[in-house]
Chain A
Amino acid sequence: MDKIRRKILETGGAGLLAATVPTSMAFAQSAPVKIGMSMPQTGGLGAGGQAALIGLRMWVDDVNAKGGLLGRKVEFIVYDDQSNGANTPGIYTKLLDVDKVDILIAPYATNPTAPIMPLVKERGKLLMGNFSFQVNAKVQHDMWFNNAPWNDAKGWSEGFLEAGKNAGAKSIAIFAADAEFQQNLANGCREIVKNTDWNLVYDQNYPGNNTDFSSIIRSVRAARPEVVFVACYPNEAVAIMRSVNEIGLGSQVQIFGGGMVGLQFTPVMQSLGSLLNGVVNYNSYVPGMKFPGIEDFFKRYTERAIAAKVDPLGFYLPPFNYATGQMIEQAVNATKTFDNKRLADYLRRNEINTIVGPISFDKNGERSKPRMVQAQFRNIKDNDWEQFKNPGKQVVIWPAADKQGDVITPFDRARKAT
């Protein structure tokens, strides 16, 4: 039986190869279509950016294997912005005027993306957003589509604050970096806190490049909050967790975390190890959540990632970056054009099926049906990335549709729980 199966696969494979040969000859006839972006491959966001890039390259290879877009090979142009928003305007001007790309994808994350929004709007270009948060709120560009599974701050903090309320908490401390993403998120949380009966006992902003959090953690501890909401980027997340471990927050803290970027990257999770236990934080995907076709994606991704010495699990960004590619592909195939306006129109009106489920957008270019979760880290051991493959290490506590378990409080108990 197996021999026959193998024979069929072999001939099938040969047939596929034969089928691709004429297509690659077809490439030579027309100019490639250029898709361009800058991706933070070094700097604070580098760990996430490199993983995301693999997701995108997988899509480029897949679509070229199928014959490209409208018969033209996709040429993917990427630069490194070093997680620095100061570099992106120059890079995107270069992409438009020197490389002459046809379709733009935004850099991963809010802070490198914010500076290019006015530029892209002025030039009337489509921009495929990449896991940024509320970056289009002020500029209101009508050709912006964000692949991240969230919409506004309300959705984000709601679940987190709800868990705190259920544990009987009344007081909250907030601290966030003074940068676009962290402030957008923290302001959203502050908004909710103001309009409900939470008692805000501590609220501080710190400079984005701050490396020593001892004085902040000490001040938070002295304010005796029951919930601590943090909005930070990867480097800060690591320093904060180390500081919390060094100095402690006090036994009254029920829930800690919320908006910490970086705790989703496997290298960071691995280096922090048991320091993560008890933290309740957001995520876009954890094992146990059901998405069609995602298991297959992870298998292929892990192979490439291990070879490239990048985040081997790729839970957080890669599937959604692959989905961005799929959105471009479907829009182009449906409208039969690369005209940015027509593509934007299509994306606005239609729901696209991707490996992270169906995606549709509201009038601001954000997801009309958010699907992010708050999950609690449990039973994490040091120096082991494989442990994260299985469910149970990041237990989803919100929303109800994806819930995997109840949150363990207080924070100190959750840190030691097994």
Chain B
Amino acid sequence: MISLDLLFEAVLFGILLGCFYAAVSLGLSVAFGLLDVPYVAHPALLILGSYFTFLLSKTGIDPIICGLLLMPVFYVIGIALYRFYYETFERRSSDTGVRGLAFFFGIAFIIEVCLILVFGVDQRTVSATYIGSSLEIGEYRFPYRMLVAFGIAIFLTTLLTLYFSKTFNGRAIKAVGQDEGALRLMGANPVKIKQLAFGIATAVNALAGAMLIIVGPVEPAMDRIYIGRTFCVVVLAGLGSMSGTLVAGLILGIAESIVMMTLGASWAPAVSFGLLLLMLGIRPQGLFGR
């Protein structure tokens, strides 16, 4: 059996990993959790963010700054995507389920294939001073790249939670998922609110994408495994819960880390999808959902 020491280190690494997973799932939490959009293209946009970061960082800019710089670009992309989705599907509301899903699935594949055609299937990485070395505390070593991702994750989650609870627009976004009619009566335009939310969700993806390529190498087909991780976090958290996303991320991260340590890395992909199925089977509304 493995030692307590090793287990402890696995849990610590799992916490870092988990916060990272939470951060990359925040966008989906908003788009799918709050707005009910079948946004299966979310991981593909995440990888797109990573590749844009890769391109931008070639000019010498630090990857984190690249991610921040890309956020407004992705915000616009998000608004455009939602607008298109709304006009084409939600408005006409005939058979939206199948068509909306098929639409986003198609978009995800188109993004992936275009990335392959432009960049090839090779792995891409970025370099920065904090990538490659670790923080030594006693016998434990914490790679700086994970600490950086952890920091950004905490920052993003706090920012979004505050936004959704303190600002008018933020609260409106939370409300639009629950009761559109009431929101309309309060003077807010639900479509504009949803658009804003989707824009924010996609903008967050830009920074999350930067984090992804800092944490490890990226290749176009990675969006597939991240469908599992992001949807697992969102379903585990329960639709509509921001802080729940962080907790769910931690659960996933620690679970994956322990499985990698005990059963081996070959079982790691099944953890997120397994947790997802388990949750759907026993408690579909998630841990904190309404």
Contacts and interface: CB of A to CB of B under 8 A. Distances in A.
Do any beta carbons of A and B sit within 8 angstroms of each other in the complex? yes
A245 B216 contact: no
Interface stretch (B5-13, B157-165, B186-194): B5-13
Interface in A302-347: none
B261 A239 contact: no
B120 A42 contact: yes
Interface string A214-236: 11101100100000000000010
* A-side interface size class: 20 to 34
A291 interface: no
A214 B3 contact: no
Nearest to B134: A246
A15 interface: no
B132 A42 contact: no
A43 interface: yes
Contacts of B13: 214-215, 218
A191 interface: no
A165 to B, nearest CB: 28
A245 B145 CA distance: 13
A85 interface: no
Contacts of A245: 132-133
A83 B257 contact: no
A46 B266 contact: no
B6 A235 contact: no
B218 to A, nearest CB: 9
A218 B133 contact: no
Contacts of A46: 120, 122
Contacts of A206: 264-266
B217 A211 contact: yes
Interface in B132-167: 132-134, 141, 143
A215 B10 contact: yes
Interface string B215-234: 11100000000000000000
A57 to B, nearest CB: 20
Contact of A82 (B3, B121, B123, B215): B121
A212 B216 contact: yes
* B-side interface size class: 20 to 34
B260 interface: yes
A242 B121 CA distance: 21
Contacts of A210: 265
B269 interface: yes
Contacts of A84: 121
Contacts of B257: 215
B147 to A, nearest CB: 12
A247 B143 contact: yes
A212 B261 CA distance: 12
Interface string B234-275: 000000000000000000000001001100111011000000
Given A222-B5, A235-B217, A247-B143, A215 B122 contact: no
Contact of A83 (B5, B9, B121, B133): B121
Contacts of B2: 219, 222
A205 B264 contact: yes
Contact of A222 (B6, B120, B134): B6
A206 B2 CA distance: 18
A45 to B, nearest CB: 10
A140 interface: no
Interface of B: 2-3, 5-6, 9-10, 13, 120-123, 132-134, 141, 143, 215-217, 257, 260-261, 264-266, 268-269
Given A215-B13, A222-B3, 19 more contacts: A42-B121, A43-B121, A43-B122, A44-B123, A46-B120, A83-B121, A207-B266, A211-B123, A212-B215, A212-B216, A218-B6, A222-B5, A239-B216, A242-B132, A245-B132, A246-B132, A246-B133, A246-B134, A248-B141
Q: Which are the 3 A-B pairs with shortest beta-carbon distances?
A: A206-B265, A215-B260, A42-B120
25 contacts: A42-B121, A44-B123, A46-B122, A205-B264, A205-B266, A206-B266, A207-B268, A207-B269, A211-B216, A211-B217, A215-B13, A215-B257, A215-B260, A215-B261, A216-B265, A218-B9, A218-B10, A218-B13, A218-B261, A219-B6, A222-B3, A222-B5, A235-B123, A239-B217, A247-B143
